Structure 1
Amino acid sequence: MSLKAPVGVLRLPKGPDPNSRGFDRNSARFIALCPTSISSSSSESKEEQRVRSELRERFLRTLLVMTDKPVQFNMHEKVQVQARFGASDIDVLNFQVSNLETPLGVQKEALLRCQDVISCSFEL
């Protein structure tokens, strides 16, 4: 009986600081997700921050309205799928859907990666 070669261990970055809700402000992830400086006092950055806040609020309200409604997703490679929208994760990287109708069949529960979705639409 021969022993198999050991496999190296991949160490993941440390998670959120246990005393706060979020990642270290000096981490690469935080810097990539927050390219603008909030601490700047210029009127342009305050206006940009106000507009970003307004757009974020509209987007979150749209996600709330979409909950439990039939939604059509346009994916890459001209694939269109329909599903009942459930929720999104906090970073909006995945959508949880039910009764996903794909060209290959129906999936009772599924996660759609947002980077695979080009657009989505639903009726009010």
Structure 2
Amino acid sequence: MKPTVSVLRLPRGPDLNSRGFDPNSPRFIALCPTSISSSSSLSGTGIKEEQRLRSELRERFLRTLLLMTDKEMQFNMYEKVQVRAKFGASDIDVLNFQVSDLETPLGVQKEALLRCQDVISCSFEL
């Protein structure tokens, strides 16, 4: 026999006849798939412009990652720790950096992964 599953009911909406969230609420705006608020015009050109800008920023970021490959970098981390390493790659979600010859206050590590949550900033020479 299959176990029963409870049904999740959404709270009543602002018009009391529907269920859901007020499209003008801060929560709805924050969770909206685009940063264009529902109070502004949701024209196709506004969304297309935002997508174009996001695409351009993503391309710049990916080009920066490519430029960083095999460069000596300095990473500023929490607790005022500064380390130097040769940048190798990043995972697809940019959660980790793969580095080589990591110079830490405790010594040199041949290969390492740096968690991006621990990195405050990084810099390299062009």
> Smaller-chain TM-score range?
0.5 to 0.7
| Regions of 4+ moved over 6 Å | none
How many angstroms apart in 1 are the aligned matches of 2:43 and 2:109? 50
1:83-117 deviation per Cα after TM superposition (whole angstroms, max 9, x unaligned): 00000011111000000001111100000001111
- Give the root-mean-square deviation of aligned CA atoms: 1.7
Partner of 1:111: helix, strand, or coil?
strand
Counterpart amino acid of residue 36 in structure 1: P
Aligned residue for 1:25? Answer: none
Give the drift of 1:41: 5.6
Which residues of structure 2 form unaligned runs of 5+? 1-30, 35-41
* Paired position in structure 2 for 1:97: 99
- TM-score, normalised via structure 1 length: 0.66
Q: 2 CA distance for matches of 1:102 and 1:35?
A: 42
The aligned residue for residue 71 of structure 1 is 73
What SS class does the counterpart of residue 92 from structure 2 fall into?
A: coil
> Could you tell me which residue of structure 1 aligns to residue 84 of structure 2?
82
Matches within 5 A, 1:5-84: 36=33, 42-84=44-86
Q: Which stretches in structure 1 are left out of the alignment for 5+ residues?
A: 1-33
Structure having the higher Rg? 2
Distance 1:41 1:78 in 2: 47
Q: What residue identity is the alignment partner of 1:111?
A: L
Pairs aligned (count) = 89
Residue by residue over 1:6-57, the C-alpha shift from the partner in whole angstroms, topping out at 9 and shown as x without a partner, is xxxxxxxxxxxxxxxxxxxxxxxxxxxx9625xx763222222111111110
What is the alpha-carbon distance in structure 2 between the residues aligned to residue 45 and residue 89 of structure 1? 29
Q: Cα distance 1:110–1:48, how it changes in 2: closer, same or farther (>3 A)?
A: same
Identity, % of aligned pairs?
81
For residue 98 of structure 1, give the secondary structure of its aligned residue in structure 2. strand
